[in-house]
With several copies, the nearest count.
Chain A
């Protein structure tokens, strides 16, 4: 025997020095960092900005101003592809939309985006851009769901006063056991609804999920599609019919929900947002039990310790640790594989974007000539559908990697809808292959 260590000594627990007491009201990550300096150190480094071919982020210098004191922002996606402005015409996203960057920026990027200046946003926004656990607890007198509801109903500017930090240790960890926990009511409720649709009653993510599942669910708290329900502006994840794009589409159609009325075409349109969790679920990695944290928070060796990388970022910036324990190919080859998946997705996304923009332009042209053209209602619904499908891939931040075939399949259907919209405008007798749902103005 070459290594001789007393049996089961590992069960003695971790070599960790408790410097301070942490309890369920300790919000400041710097305090937690006293006990866990290595994790804290990584957490702080989410300020880094480095671009990959389709991800990461690029530090664009800007001159700080009174209203917006940021000296760097991420690159503007609207400038990279102006078709996005057409897609979102009339919605705040057409004014400012940037590549997302590290967690350290989440609170300031939300506070300072120009989208805040063109529309008054509700407090609901804050849910995914700050450490809200303590605010929930305090506003709800210990009941986080109550606190959540109160925060939702405030105007953003007021809600903003209740939070201080970007997502922090307390939002993902139980302070006593340090095990993972979900703190976001919207995710708890969304999971319960989804599981119910599969016949599982009263699912409680904090009780019923395995440790490995929690390594995904803590991220699923925010990296998901969402909408603001009713006048309470409740944050809801639209999963009651399932989490595939067609399930969500059906859900919104049944709710007759729209995000806004399209400026150019008057279609009742939807904005899809970062459905990473939903798309990951359709991929081979989810099926193989590979969690978000496996790739985005890979273990890192520091001295004699191995810790979870708390510098959450693109795995392409740490291929050796994120991928190579499972995939024995060179870094270069792994990178090439990812980029080949992404390029295929990106090229098809471009075709789908062209089809959508053509449809929008056609509607605009025709309604100008004849606002009562009989093909318009159908064409507008097809735009709603084509656009949501396209945006589901566009807004998903892995450029197809999390579920390559699924992403391409969704784009294929998007193209089918957009082109059929164009047909209908030229031939109102045409019956598309999907039933038309009327969404009120």
Chain B
């Protein structure tokens, strides 16, 4: 009976899928423009942009601006069990690639122009991804918490466990 009240996939996820698709198109276009202007493209190269496609955390720390978060991760409880992409990239080959492309482009641009809010804050979209990733690994333990409404955002794991990935 309780199973029936469970939504197989929340609305938020569906919306994200669609936006991701359009963002991918924008990304490809921007990427070309970026290379042409030598702006985002150079940074993407300099920062070993392909690192967004690997799971090596040191790749993220290629940007000194990510160093503090890398250091924080190393001190966190999860450094031995989860790498950056486990929490910051959605699982599934396709969605993961899209996400990395979007973030990769965004961060490269931000890094190059220096135009971003400091201290750096996770975006709403990326927070949703992280929240889902917590549940991916901890589905067993969070089963009860999700309650019977199972709307993903109704319980935010990071509200209480903000520091599991980064201990400063």
A and B touch in the complex (CB under 8 A): yes
Contact A304 B140 (CB under 8 A): yes
> Is the pair B91, A7 in contact by a Cβ cutoff of 8 Å?
yes
Are B142 and A210 in contact, CB atoms less than 8 angstroms apart?
no
Secondary structure class of chain B's binding surface, majority of residues: loop
> B118 touching A5 by the CB < 8 A rule?
no
| Size category of the binding interface on chain A | 35 or more
Q: Are B147 and A301 in contact (CB under 8 A)?
A: no
Distance to closest chain A CB from B58 (angstroms): 16
Smallest Cβ distance from B130 to chain A, in angstroms?
14
- Stretch in contact with the other chain, from B16-24, B41-49, B97-105, B160-168: B160-168
| Other-chain residue from A7, A13, A18, A325 in contact with B136 (beta carbon distance below 8 A) | A7
Q: A1 to B71: give the CA distance in the assembly, Å.
A: 16
Task: Kindly state the separation between the CA atoms of A8 and B137 in the bound complex, as whole angstroms.
Answer: 9
- The answer to whether A1 and B139 touch (CB under 8 A), given A211-B147, A211-B155, A325-B160, is no
Interface size on B, residues (CB 8 A): 49
- Render B140-152 as a binary contact track against A, CB cut-off 8 A, 1 for contact: 1111111111110
Q: Is B33 an interface residue (CB 8 A)?
A: no
CB atoms of A321 and B167 under 8 A apart: no
The answer to whether A12 and B3 touch across the interface, beta carbons within 8 angstroms, is yes
The answer to the question of B121 belonging to the interface, with a C-beta cut-off of 8 Å to chain A, is: yes
- Return A193 CB to nearest CB of chain B, in Å: 27
| B154 interface neighbour in A7, A211, A321, A324, Cβ under 8 Å | A211
Q: A179-B149, A305-B140 are in contact. List 17 more A-B contacts (CB 8 A).
A: A2-B82, A3-B137, A5-B136, A7-B168, A8-B136, A10-B135, A13-B6, A13-B146, A14-B146, A178-B148, A211-B149, A289-B159, A294-B160, A299-B160, A306-B145, A325-B160, A325-B161
Which residues of A are interface residues toward B (Cβ below 8 A)? 1-16, 18, 176-179, 210-212, 289, 294, 299, 301, 304-308, 320-321, 324-326, 328
B contact residues vs A (CB 8 Å cutoff): 1-3, 5-9, 55, 64, 67-68, 71-72, 81-82, 86, 91-92, 117-119, 121, 135-151, 154-155, 159-163, 167-168
